[in-house]
Amino acid sequence: MSRMIWKWILVSAMVLAPAATFAQVSCTRNGLQYATNLYLKAQTKGDTSGLPLAKGLAYIENMQEVDIQKGLIQKPLKFDFHRTLIDPVTCQTFTEAIDADQTDPYVLGVRLRVNYDKIAEIELIITHKGDWLFNADNYLKYSKAEKWGEIPASQRDTRATLVAAANAYLDAFLEKRTSMVPWGYPCERTEGGARTGKGLPTDTCAVGVPAGVNIVNRRFIVDPTIGAVQAFCRFSVNGVPDSHLFRVQHGKLRYVHTLTHLPPGFKLSRPPQGPPPNAGGNGGAGQN
Shared domain for 202 and 255, answered yes or no, is: yes
- When pLDDT is averaged across residues 164-188 and rounded to a whole number, the result is 95
C-alpha separations of 204 from 137, 209, 280, 285 in Å: 22, 12, 10, 18
- Tens digit of pLDDT for each residue in 74-127? 999 999 999 999 999 999 999 999 999 999 999 999 999 999 999 999 999 999
- Percentages helix, strand, coil for the chain, rounded to the nearest 5? 25, 30, 45
Give the end of a domain, one of 95, 127, 159. 127
Which of 99, 90, 148 lies closest to 121, judged by CA?
Answer: 90
Residue 123, in any domain of the structure: yes
Q: Which domain holds residue 201?
A: 150-260
Shared domain for 99 and 181, answered yes or no, is: no
Pairing of strands 118-127, 53-61: parallel
For the chain, give the mean pLDDT. Answer: 88
Total structural domains within the chain: 2
- What one-character-per-residue DSSP string does 114-155 give? EETTEEEEEEEEEE-TTSTT--HHHHHHHHHHS--PPPPGGG
- Tens digit of pLDDT for each residue in 214-238? 999 999 999 999 999 999 999 886 7
Residue 5, in any domain of the structure: no
The CATH number linked to 196 is 3.10.450.50
Residue predicted with more confidence, 263 or 19: 263
Give the single-character DSSP code of 90: T
- When pLDDT is averaged across residues 186-213 and rounded to a whole number, the result is 91
Shared domain for 111 and 174, answered yes or no, is: no
Give the single-character DSSP code of 72: G
Residue 287, in any domain of the structure: no
Shared domain for 173 and 122, answered yes or no, is: no
Residue 15, in any domain of the structure: no
Low-confidence winner among 47-51, 178-182, 209-213 (lowest mean pLDDT) = 209-213
Residue 255, in any domain of the structure: yes
- Residues near 121 by beta carbon (within 8 Å), at least 6 away in sequence: 57, 58, 59, 60, 111, 112, 113
Cβ atoms of 256 and 190 within 8 Å: the answer is yes
Shared domain for 118 and 154, answered yes or no, is: no
Q: What is the CB neighbour count within 10 angstroms for residue 70?
A: 10
